[in-house]
Amino acid sequence: QKEVEQNSGPLSVPEGAIASLNCTYSDRGSQSFFWYRQYSGKSPELIMFIYSNGDKEDGRFTAQLNKASQYVSLLIRDSQPSDSATYLCAVSTWGKLQFGAGTQVVVTP
Partner 1 sequence: DTGVSQDPRHKITKRGQNVTFRCDPISEHNRLYWYRQTLGQGPEFLTYFQNEAQLEKSRLLSDRFSAERPKGSFSTLEIQRTEQGDSAMYLCASSWGGGEKLFFGSGTQLSVL
> Which residues contact partner 1 (rule: CB under 8 A)?
4, 8, 32, 34, 42-46, 49, 88, 90, 92, 95-102
Contacts of 59 (CB under 8 A, 6+ apart): none
- When the beta carbons of 45 and 78 are compared against partner 1, the nearer one is 45
Q: Characterize 77-88 residue by residue with b for buried, 16 or more Cβ atoms within 10 angstroms of its Cβ, and e for exposed.
A: eebeeebbbbbb
Q: Which is nearer to partner 1, 17 or 106 (CB)?
A: 106
**Pick 68 or 94: Cβ nearer partner 1:** 94
